[in-house]
Amino acid sequence: MNKINADRLIVEYQQKIFGFAMSKMRDVDNAEELASNIVLEVYKSFLKSDNIANIEGYVYRIASNVYARFIDRKMANQHIDIMKIEYPVSESGFDCIESGETYRKLRREIGMLSNRQRAITYMKYYKDMSVMEIAKELNISVGTVKWHLSDIRSGLKEKIDMVKNGNLSVNPVYFVSMGHSGSPGKSGDTKDMFDSRLKQNIAWSCYYQARTVTEIAKELEVPIAYIEGELRKLVEWGYIDQIDNSKNPKYLTNMYITDVREDFSEELKIKKDVADFLCENLFKDMFDKFDKADDNWGMICPNNDKNYLKYNLIMMTLISLGDDWENWEEFAVKRPDGGHFIAYANVTDDCTKKKLDDKYKGCGYMFDQVWRDNRQVLQSIQYNCMYSGRSIDWRNNNPDDWEDLYSYISNGCEKDKISVNSFSNLSAKGYVADGKNQITLINVKDGNLVGTINNFVKTHMQIPEFVLEEGKRTDERFYKANRHKYPKHLEKLVRYNNSNSFTWGENIPFIVERMLEVRMLKPLTDKQKKAVFTVVAINGEE
C-alpha cells in the first residue's frame, strides 16, 4: 500500500482504535499507551500489505493481537488460565465492541463460579439439558441442581443474553491422563509437554479437522498471541503437524487422543472375553505344565513360590504372543530432545464424569538394561497395574534401580558390598527385603537377554495355533468397536493400536482378576506386590 493511502486510513481509524483501547483498559493512560502501540503496528502493516479485502477486520485483528501482547507484558508473564482470558479474537470489526463487552462480562461471571456451577451452567444454557439430565450426569440430586441454578441465575443476572458458542470456549477440555509408547527424551514425555490446559485445548481443537491459528484462536476464544507460541512448540516437538506451507497454514494433531466421554462398554466386554478365553484355552494348560516343572523353567524367586511366579508368567506369556515393533517405527515420532515415541492422552471436560474404569489402568511394558564393558549384563521388563504395589507411572521405573540391582546381585546379594544409598534405594522400592532379592530372575549364559525375555514362554511350550487365530479375530473386534472414535487421518494408527491385542499389557489386570475369581491364583502379600510383574534376565550365576 502506498504511503498516501496508509496515512488516510490511519486517520480514519484513529478514533476507532482509541475507542477499542478505552473499552479494554480501566484508565486513560493505559488506553493511550495501548492505542499508540496499535496505531504503530497497523501503520507498519499497511505499508507492507496490498489488496486487503476487509480493512476493518484486518485492523481489528491487529488491535486484538497488540492488546494480547500488551496484557502479557502487564501480567509479567504470569500463567493465564484458559477460563480467565476475557477477550475473544474477532474478525467482525469495531462495531461489535458493545456485544463483545456483554459477552466479556458474562464470561467473567462464569469464570467466578465453582467448577460444579460452571458445569451446570454449560449443561443448562449451552447444551439445553434438563434438570433431570444434569442431575444424572453429575450424580447429584435434582434438588441440588435446582439450588445451584437459582444461585447461578442470581449471580449471572439473566438479563444478559446467553449466546450459543463453541464448546471449547466455555467448556474447555483437559487431558485426564497422558503417556507414550517408546523412549522418552531428556525433557520427559507427553505429560511434561502438555503441562497447561491451554496446550491441551490447542491440540484438541485441531484433532478432528485441520485449522489455521486464527481458527484455533476463535474456537478457544483466546487471542492469537497466546496461541502462536504454544502451537509453534507443539509443532516443533512433533505433536501437531503443519500440513501446508501457505501464508496462513493449517495444523492437524497427530497424537493418539482418546475421548473418555465416548462409550467404551464394548471394549471393556472384549477385554473380559480375552481374559476368559486365555485363562481357559492357554493358561490352564500352561500352569499345569509349570506346576510339574521342578526347575520353574529357570525362573528364580524367594522360596521358589510358584503362585508368585505365575503372576510374572502371565506378563511373560503376553509378551511372547507377538511382536509388532517394526510397525511401531512407522508411527513413532523423533523428538528434539532424543525422545522417540507415540504420544497418547485421554481427554474429558468439567461437565462429564470419566467413563473409563480407572481400576484397570496400567503402565505398559517398560524395558531397561545394564551394560558393562560393552556387554549387556542385565535386561529388565516391568508392568505396573492395580495388582502391583508401585505407582502407575513410567517414572517409577528408574534406570538407576537396575544398576543398583545388578551391583547387589553380582556381589552375592551382600549389602556391605554395595553403597548405602544403593541398598537403601532397593529396600525402599521393595526389590530387596529381609536381606533377599525379591525380583524374579532368569540366569542366562552367553545368550541374548532381550530374546530370552521376549521368547521365554515359546522356549517351554508351544502356543496353540487356534489361540493365535483367536487373537486376530479379537483385533478386528477391537478395531470395529473403536475406529469411529478417532479422526480419519489417524486411521492407520487406530488400526495399529487395535492389533496384536493378545499381547497388550492392559490385559494383565483382567486376566488376574479372572484367575483370582476361579482360584487359578492366590492373592499376593504386600511384600510380593512391590516386586511382582518384574522379571530380570541376567548374565551369569545368581
Show me where the domains of the chain are located.
3-163, 170-259, 265-331+352-539
DSSP 373: T
Provide the pLDDT for residue 355: 53
Provide the pLDDT for residue 322: 74
The reported pTM is: 0.68
10 Å CB burial of residue 26 (0-12, 13-18, 19+) is: exposed
The answer to whether residues 402 and 378 touch, using CB atoms and an 8 Å cutoff, is yes
Distances, alpha carbon 107 to alpha carbons 75, 83, 132, 171, in Å: 19, 8, 25, 11
Look at the chain and count its residues. 542
Distances, alpha carbon 282 to alpha carbons 252, 287, 516, in Å: 43, 9, 16
Provide the pLDDT for residue 159: 39
- DSSP states of 506-537 as a string? GGHHHHHHHHHHTTSS-PPPHHHHHHTTEEEE
Provide the pLDDT for residue 405: 92
User: Radius of gyration over alpha carbons of the chain, in Å?
Assistant: 29
**Alpha helices (runs of H) in 77-130, residue ranges in sequence order:** 97-111, 115-121
Cα gap 413→302, rounded to integer Å: 13
How would you list the strands of the sheet with 363-372, edge to edge?
299-300, 440-444, 534-539, 375-384, 363-372
Provide the pLDDT for residue 208: 95
CATH top-level class for 170-259? Answer: mainly alpha
Provide the pLDDT for residue 72: 66
Cα gap 279→286, rounded to integer Å: 9
- Is 349 strand, coil or helix? strand
Cα gap 241→490, rounded to integer Å: 12
Beta-bridged to residue 437, according to DSSP, are 432
User: Which of 81, 109, 126 lies closest to 220 in space, CA to CA?
Assistant: 81
Ranges under pLDDT 50 in the chain: 76-92, 96-99, 157-166, 541-542
Distances, alpha carbon 18 to alpha carbons 69, 88, 176, in Å: 17, 18, 43
Which grid coordinates belong to 203? 491440540
| 68-103 CB burial, b ≥16 within 10 A, e <16 | bebbbeeeeeeebebbebbbbbbeebbeebeebeeb
End-to-end CA distance of the chain: 81
Provide the pLDDT for residue 65: 85
User: Identity (one letter) of the amino acid at 508?
Assistant: I
Residue with cell 545388578: 406
The answer to whether residues 348 and 261 touch, using CB atoms and an 8 Å cutoff, is yes
> At 499, phi and psi to the nearest 5?
-115, 165
Cα gap 499→364, rounded to integer Å: 15
**Alpha helices (runs of H) in 206-359, residue ranges in sequence order:** 213-220, 224-236, 265-278, 284-292, 306-320, 325-331
Cα gap 256→328, rounded to integer Å: 13
> At 253, phi and psi to the nearest 5?
-75, 130
The answer to whether residues 200 and 168 touch, using CB atoms and an 8 Å cutoff, is no
The neighbour count for residue 266, using CB atoms within 10 Å, is 13
Residue with cell 512448540: 233
